[in-house]
Amino acid sequence: MTSADTTLAYTATEMMTVVSARALTSDDVCFVGIGLPSAACNLARLTHAPDITLIYESGTIATRPSVLPLSIGDGELCDTALTTVSVPEMFRYWLQGGRITVGFLPGAQIDRFANLNTTVIGPYDRPVTRLPGSGGAPEIMTHCGEIFVTMPQSRRSFVDKLDFVTTFGHGQGGDHRARLGIRTKGPTRLITDLCVFEPDPETKEMTVTSIHPGIDRDQIRDATGWPVRFAERVTETSSPTDVELETLRDLHARTRRAHAADA
């Protein structure tokens, strides 16, 4: 769990956050989600991508929070935003207008083509668990230039067949998105606590391209409900650097102090 630039031990969640942050650039306009995506986007802003534009679903544009928001309605977002627009304007002008380059999405279930389920576990009419539903996820998946999916990996969530398709990723694979008239890339990265998947250029099946330090292929297979494909060339993910970890931990520490003071 160390590299030449890393002397600090790190958690699986920190690894996921750092890997997600590294995929962002100062040129990106990013549709941010609460939780790990928010931490990743702000870590990128505080390290290698200072000019990244962060947009939250509540309509805050170019926000630069000093602490992580508890929700999309957190006042910290409006206080530090360049401007705040109405939610309809944010979806219609910014998202549907093709002005957002990257969006983050999670899921309760994901399949090999990065379709997501956030609706039900079990049969729709008699579910074992009723989930929060779609929210804006289908719109985000369709209209952002590309999508990064962030999920801890297990057979419970990485399934061969979704119980319900809430959000269309690569559909049945191949050119399915294009046949439906969708011009954006869809899911280009699936970042987990074990590895990074990317879609095969032809089939669009999510394929392992990078494995995190200390993880082997059998662990990845055991945590996946479909036969895992590995790229011809699989790299080892670089460990988080001390700078990345210190910046991330300081951000979380500031957040805890701020929220404790507000309690």
Which stretch of DSSP H or E encloses residue 38?
Answer: helix 36-46
Which residue shows structure tokens 């100062």?
26
Q: Residues 14, 57, 198, 244: which is the catalytic one?
A: 57
Output the CA–CA distances (angstroms, integers) from residue 74 to 56, 60, 93, in the order listed: 10, 10, 22
Closest CA to 193 of 229, 227, 150: 150
Output the CA–CA distances (angstroms, integers) from residue 161 to 109, 116, 172, in the order listed: 9, 10, 11
Cα gap 189→170, rounded to integer Å: 12
Tokens of 86: 């109405």
Cα gap 133→181, rounded to integer Å: 24
Cα gap 197→235, rounded to integer Å: 11
Which residue shows structure tokens 């119980």?
163
| Residue 236 near residue 27, CB atoms below 8 Å | no
Q: Is 232 considered catalytic here?
A: no
52 three-class SS: coil
Cα gap 36→13, rounded to integer Å: 8
Q: Give the residue numbers marked as catalytic.
A: 57
